[in-house]
Structure 1
Amino acid sequence: MAKVRVRRKPMSEINMVPFIDIMMVLLVAFMISAPMMTQGVKVELPKTSSDNIALPEDKEVLIVSVKADGSYFIDIGSDRDKAVDLPSLTEKVGKVVSARPNIQVLIQGDTSVAYGSVVQLMAGLQNAGISHVGLVTDPMAVGMEER
């Protein structure tokens, strides 16, 4: 007796299980590492009891920081930790806003920064053509009294 071999047809479906497994591992890796990638200048923000303002998700944000010693920092490019002078900061922010007019500019000032430093920054930004500027604060804990 001769055995008859039955030929199988080639499978034309792609097995998606390994692909899904890899994507899930990447998703978890990015979810864990994303909070660690936030960069910026460490400032002690003033605490307020105001409500949070929700920005639209499609709106980009540019943060300009003022440290306690009055030095300015801008949260773009590779020189995020390098202090810049006010004229070059306003020039850079003006270029970014002219390239991306939908961007929201926020000022992040230290609690002990001189009021004049923040006013000079706001005036410089206004001279650069930026009319809407927001201030970043930390929410005050419930029941916490101001000192």
Structure 2
Amino acid sequence: MIRHRRPLKPLNEINLTSLLDVAFVLLIAFMLVAPSIHYGIDLALPTLSEGAPQLTQDQTKLYTIMVPKPVDGRQDFFMNDTPSELTDIESRLTMQAKSGSKVAVEIRADRDVSYDTFIQVVAAVRRSGVQAVGLPVEPLSVAPPAAAATQPTPSATESADKPASTPAASTPATIAP
């Protein structure tokens, strides 16, 4: 028995039923969710009382601790340009912090001060209860140093004999004195 099959023809139309089903489900979902979305930001705005508000002056006391380069192995400390020991600085800052006044400290260290000494100063300030500690730094120069621009480039034999050094690697980061 011979069966005759019709050859398969390509479909000339796209079935849009499933696409429309998904589109309507998404439309209904957005219609249900949209009313519950809260737009805007809640702000607690101050109320205006009679007259202009009075501005209060900031009562923060700023102390500057300077740590200069060690001389003959002796490390000196200065608090507001007065020579002090680290324990004295800590006790003075503790008294100021406990008195209720706002205290801010600016630590200025020379680039030749050891990291250990610098950390001891920062730790003493933190132990005193001062929360605002600033470390002023020198701004970076954008232009390369003049000496680097005039130096000739080393030849291949010179660079093989000596390790390469960059100005950034030979000069440590600095904290302005």
TM-score w.r.t. structure 1 length? Answer: 0.50
User: Offset at 1:100?
Assistant: 5.6
* Structure 2 Cα separation of the partners of residues 60 and 125 of structure 1: 14
SS at match of 1:139: coil
Q: Which one-letter code corresponds to 2:76 in the other structure?
A: S
Report how many aligned residue pairs link the two structures.
86
RMSD: 2.2
CA shift for structure 1 position 101: 3.0
Give the alignment of 1:105-124 within 5 angstroms. Answer: 105-124=105-124
SS of corresponding position for 1:73: strand
The DSSP-based 3-state class of the residue aligned with 1:107 is strand
Which has the higher Rg, Structure 1 or Structure 2?
2
- Structure 1: 5+ residue stretches without partners: 1-56
Q: Which runs of 5+ in 2 are unaligned?
A: 1-56, 145-166, 172-177
Match of 1:68 in 2: 69
> Counterparts in 2 of 1:49-64, with a 5 A limit?
58=58, 59-64=60-65
The equivalent of 1:96 in structure 2 is: 96
1:140 Cα deviation (Å)?
1.9
Q: Are 2:97 and 2:128, in contact at CA under 8 Å, matched by a contact in 1?
A: no
The superposition leaves residues 1-23 of structure 1 with CA deviations (integer Å, 9 ceiling, x where unpaired) of xxxxxxxxxxxxxxxxxxxxxxx
For residues 92 and 138 of structure 1, do their structure 2 counterparts lie closer, same or farther at Cα, with a shift above 3 Å needed? same
- The CA distance in 2 between the partners of 1:111 and 1:87, in whole Å, is 22
Q: Distance in 2 between matches of 1:67 and 1:93?
A: 20
Report the TM-score, using the length of structure 2 for normalisation.
0.42
CA distance in structure 1 between the partners assigned to 2:109 and 2:66 by the alignment = 6
Separation (CA, whole Å) in 2 of partners of 1:95 and 1:130: 10
8 Å contact kept, 1:68–1:114? no
Matched, 1:132 2:132: yes
Map Cα deviations across residues 68-124 of structure 1 (whole Å, 9 max, x no partner): 11311101xxxx34x221111111122233336323111000111111111111111
Preserved contact between residue 64 and residue 106 of structure 2 (Cα < 8 Å):
yes
Tell me if the contact between 1:66 and 1:72 (Cα under 8 Å) persists in the aligned partners. yes
Q: Distance in 2 between matches of 1:64 and 1:136?
A: 11
